[in-house]
Amino acid sequence: MRSAPKLPSTFTKSAVSFTGCAGPLAGDRWTPAGPPRGTVLLLHGGGQTRHSWRAAGATLARAGWTAIAIDFRGHGDSAWASDGRYGLDAMAEDVSEVLRTLPEPPVVIGASLGGMTGLVLAGEQPDALRALVLVDAVPRIDRGGAKRINEFMRSAPDGSESLADVAEAVRAYQPHRVRPVNLAGLKKNVRLAGNGRWYWHWDPAMLRPRAEDEMSRLIARAQAAAVAVRIPTLLVRGALSDVVTSEGAADLLTLIPHARYTDVAGTGHMVAGDDDSVFLDRVMEFLDGEVSSHA
**Could you tell me the pTM of the whole model?**
0.91
Return the CATH number at 252: 3.40.50.1820
Please check the confidence at residue 43 and state whether its pLDDT lies above 50: yes
Please check the confidence at residue 265 and state whether its pLDDT lies above 90: no
Q: What is the mean pLDDT of residues 84-99?
A: 97
pLDDT for residue 129: 98
1: confidence class by pLDDT, cuts 50, 70, 90: very low
Q: Is residue 160 part of a domain?
A: no
Q: Is residue 276 part of a domain?
A: yes
Q: Is residue 1 part of a domain?
A: no
Please check the confidence at residue 262 and state whether its pLDDT lies above 90: yes
- More confident: 171 or 118: 118
Contacts 24+ apart (CB under 8 A), 142-145: 142/242, 142/243, 142/244, 142/245, 142/248, 144/242, 145/241, 145/242, 145/243, 145/244, 145/269
pLDDT-wise least confident of 50-64, 131-145, 156-170: 156-170
- More confident: 253 or 294: 253
Q: Is residue 114 part of a domain?
A: yes
Q: Is residue 185 part of a domain?
A: no
Residue 267 phi/psi, 5-degree rounding, is -120, 155
pLDDT-wise least confident of 55-69, 93-107, 168-182: 168-182
Total domain count for the chain? Answer: 1
pLDDT for residue 270: 67
Q: What is the mean pLDDT of residues 187-213?
A: 87
Of the chain, the percentage scoring pLDDT greater than 90 comes to 60
